[in-house]
Amino acid sequence: MNSLATEKKNIFDLTYVVDANGNDLVCYPDGSPYTGIVFEALPSGAITTEYEVKDGLKDGVEKEYYSEGHPESITHYRKGYLHGDVIYYYPEGNQKEKSVFEYGLRREVSEWDEAGTLTRHSAISEADENYKLLEKLRAKCRW
């Protein structure tokens, strides 16, 4: 997790608000946007999910865990959008799927079986409508 997000709150201490642009914001009970780490936990106290939030939007790494504490998924966000790797794991710890996102669009995906053999790989081509949209977003958004 990012060291800049120092406050850590249980999701039950926060609220969700939809802003004028339709974005789901994580906020304090008074409605002001939250910045910090959000976590969800089982009654036993075991953390099931934790993620970074900046100005109410997911921004950074989100980790989900199996009940045994092993990673189930690791996801990267930027300003509320999937941006970077999204990796899912089998309960034993082997990688199951990896997708690469930019500005909320999936540009590539790979899948493995439980033995670790690559079973699928695909990427959007330059002829794909999503590729054309991605090029526009790359030119417009300079995060």
Going through 15-70 in order, the beta strands assigned E by DSSP cover 15-18, 24-27, 36-41, 47-54, 57-65
Residues in Cβ contact with 72 at an 8 Å cutoff, skipping those fewer than 6 apart: 64, 65, 66, 88, 89, 91
Task: Give the pLDDT confidence of 33-83 residue by residue, as tens digits.
Answer: 999 999 999 888 889 999 999 999 999 999 999 988 899 999 999 999 999
More confident residue, 136 or 39: 39
**pLDDT recorded at residue 130:** 86
pLDDT at 110 over 90: yes
Q: Count other C-beta atoms under 10 Å from residue 90's C-beta.
A: 17
Please give the Cα distance from 4 to 102 (Å, whole number).
Answer: 23
